[in-house]
């Protein structure tokens, strides 16, 4: 997962590094209302229900980006609901989640990525669902990863 995120971050740095002039920052804001997706649950937190097949999410997302000639900063805030479903589409658990992702490059190739997610809910048997994910990576001017952590908490 870390290699994937670092790869995406490097691509974002390359694509965003030259998109604006140094005099005036460019600001981009995108809003997604009522987005939907089916995603896999994190491998670190397998469902206690062996019939769990996927997680369906419905969400709102606000993405804000600021580009200058030397830097970029991106913040995405995503909030919504989730439901874990079996292969037949029956709901096994449901709840709410909030996710915040930050990417910034104070100057190429220095890069900082941070991500957090918190989800809470209840299973159909009455048990509680709690998931927390935190990820951070810092890459210095020598293209070396100087800080990295990836923590997943289930329960």
Residue 1 has pLDDT above 60, yes or no: no
Give me the residue label for tokens 């469902």: 47
| Cα–Cα distance for residue pair 118/144, rounded to 1 Å | 29
Range of the domain at 57: 2-154
17-66 tens-digit pLDDT: 444 445 688 999 999 999 999 988 888 888 777 788 889 999 999 999 99
104-119 tens-digit pLDDT: 987 666 889 999 999 9
**What's the chain's length in residues?**
155
The DSSP line for 15-38 is: HHTTSS-SSS-EEEEEEEEEEEEE
DSSP 3-state of 117: strand
**Domains identified in the chain, total number:** 1
What is the torsion angle, in degrees rounded to the nearest 10, for the CA atoms of residue 69, residue 14, residue 9 and residue 149? -70
This prediction has a pTM of 0.76
């Amino acid at each position: 997962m870390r290699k994937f995120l670092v790869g995406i971050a490097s691509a974002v740095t390359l694509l965003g590094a030259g998109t604006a002039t140094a005099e005036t920052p460019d600001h981009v804001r995108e809003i997604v209302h009522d987005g939907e997706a089916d995603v896999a649950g994190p491998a670190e937190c397998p469902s206690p229900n062996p019939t769990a097949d996927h997680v369906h999410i419905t969400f709102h997302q606000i993405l804000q980006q600021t580009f200058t000639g030397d830097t970029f900063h991106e913040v995405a805030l995503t909030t919504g609901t989730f439901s874990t479903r079996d292969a037949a589409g029956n709901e096994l658990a449901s709840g709410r989640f909030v996710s915040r992702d930050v990417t910034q490059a104070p100057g190429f190739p220095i890069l900082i990525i941070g991500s957090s997610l918190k989800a809470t809910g209840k299973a159909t048997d009455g048990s509680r669902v709690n998931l927390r994910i935190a990820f951070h990576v810092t890459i210095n001017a020598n293209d070396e990863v100087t800080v990295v952590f990836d923590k997943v908490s289930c329960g």
